[in-house]
């Protein structure tokens, strides 16, 4: 193994290109992932608390990267430190998704038990499956719109008081929302929605309102909260989120955003230039500027684990540091 970072980075890329995950790539993945995993709140869960749990997580992370994600990291990384930062960022996202998946499965199960058992709700079996609304509303058409419309409806709802984001979890409390608040949220959803809602619709609304998306943040990945724009995030903040954590997430975002996306953010929203001015600087059309801004919003939501307020804080940190990025 070479002693300089440049040579090691080239060796890792060559190994990945010719052999896939060889000894050096595997060691780099494990070192960066375990440096994050040993401090992550997911280790407080019984399933992952001991060394066997850590080994299981590491093996699952290997499989997670195998589905094209390691290709993306090597394509995106500019040098060894950038690759390591990307691996740590991917590791944090993976661990948060593991915790989020377990928590949301708990919420989903409780929600549908309430919908079936609580007399405030009624259901009908229609083409496309069962759908729910509030009792006494009469015949209501089933939702037939798109995910963007459903997402906007979800974000219009009040956030229940007991909702916790994953960073505030304790070792004994991982349910995300209390039973009374979940029941009240379901009544709010079914009472305000102008449609009857199917299981998939309700799951999307709950994920959106509880910040429970399983996220990806590289620009090549699927969009989180479709339709979200930078304007949706500007001015948002989370006073309960520590400045050091915001800086860490901003570093993750900086690594995951493309150079063009950083320029669009900095010039369009930091320097307050017009779309036309930014487009001329980049030599692209205004539509490309808008698309890059939309993709950047998805990246910011990804590093913030779907929490709009935290994403707004990360955006603010990036814009404050625009001239030094």
Residue intervals in the chain for CATH 1.10.10.10:
215-325
Q: pLDDT value at position 210?
A: 85
The tokens describing 228, both together, are: 């979200």
Instruction: Write down how long the chain is.
Output: 325
Q: pLDDT value at position 238?
A: 53
Query: How would you write the pLDDT of the chain (325 residues) with one tens digit per residue?
Result: 455 666 889 999 999 889 888 899 999 999 999 888 876 766 666 666 677 888 888 899 988 898 788 888 888 788 888 888 888 878 887 887 887 788 889 899 999 999 999 999 999 888 778 999 999 888 889 998 888 899 899 989 987 877 744 344 333 334 478 899 999 999 999 999 999 999 999 999 998 888 777 666 544 344 455 667 787 787 666 555 567 678 878 887 887 888 899 999 999 998 999 999 999 999 999 999 999 998 898 888 877 766 777 888 889 889 888 866 5
Distance CA(86)–CA(262), nearest Å, equals 16
Q: pLDDT value at position 225?
A: 57
**DSSP letters for 219-277:** TTSPPSSTT--HHHHTT---TTS-HHHHHHHHHHHHHHS-HHHHHHIIIIIIS---HHH
Q: What is the distance of C-alpha 131 from the center of its chain?
A: 27
Burial 5-16 (b: 16+ CB within 10 A, else e): eeebbebbbebb
Q: What is the dihedral of CA 218, 263, 310, 246, to 10 degrees?
A: 90
Q: pLDDT value at position 241?
A: 54
The tokens describing 313, both together, are: 């804080």
Burial 92-103 (b: 16+ CB within 10 A, else e): bbbbbbbbbeeb
Q: pLDDT value at position 283?
A: 92
Question: What is the fold of 215-325?
Answer: Arc Repressor Mutant, subunit A (1.10.10)
Distance CA(151)–CA(51), nearest Å, equals 39
Q: pLDDT value at position 220?
A: 36
The tokens describing 205, both together, are: 């609304």
Q: pLDDT value at position 160?
A: 81
Burial 264-300 (b: 16+ CB within 10 A, else e): bbbbbbbeebebeebbeebeeeeebbbebbbbbbbbb
Q: pLDDT value at position 324?
A: 67
């Amino acid at each position: 193994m070479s002693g300089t970072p440049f040579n090691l980075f080239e060796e890792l890329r060559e190994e990945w290109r010719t052999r896939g995950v060889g000894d050096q790539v595997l060691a780099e993945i494990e070192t960066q992932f375990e440096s994050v995993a040993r401090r992550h709140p997911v280790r407080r869960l019984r399933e992952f608390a001991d060394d066997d749990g850590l080994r299981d997580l590491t093996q699952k992370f290997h499989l997670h990267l195998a589905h094209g994600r390691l290709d993306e990291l090597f394509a995106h990384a500019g040098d060894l430190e950038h690759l390591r930062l990307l691996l740590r960022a991917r590791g944090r996202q993976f661990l948060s998704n593991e915790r989020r998946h377990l928590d949301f499965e708990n919420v989903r199960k409780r929600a549908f038990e309430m919908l079936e058992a609580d007399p405030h709700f009624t259901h009908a079996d229609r083409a496309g499956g069962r759908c729910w609304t509030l009792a006494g509303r009469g015949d209501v058409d089933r939702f037939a719109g798109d995910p963007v419309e459903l997402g906007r409806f979800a974000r219009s709802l009040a956030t229940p008081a007991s909702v916790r984001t994953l960073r505030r979890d304790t070792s004994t409390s991982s349910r995300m929302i209390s039973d009374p608040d979940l029941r009240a949220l379901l009544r709010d959803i079914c009472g305000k929605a102008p449609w009857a809602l199917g299981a998939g619709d309700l799951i999307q609304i709950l994920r959106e309102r509880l910040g429970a998306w399983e996220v990806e943040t590289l620009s090549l990945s699927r969009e989180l909260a479709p339709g979200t724009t930078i304007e949706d995030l500007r001015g948002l903040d989370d006073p309960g989120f520590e400045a050091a954590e915001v800086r860490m997430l901003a570093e993750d975002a900086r690594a995951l955003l493309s150079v063009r996306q950083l320029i669009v953010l900095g010039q369009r929203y930091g320097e307050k230039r017009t779309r036309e001015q930014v487009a001329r600087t980049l030599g692209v059309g205004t539509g490309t500027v808008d698309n890059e801004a939309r993709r950047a919003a998805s990246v910011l939501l990804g590093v913030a684990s779907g929490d709009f307020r935290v994403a707004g804080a990360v955006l603010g940190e990036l814009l404050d540091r625009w001239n030094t990025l």
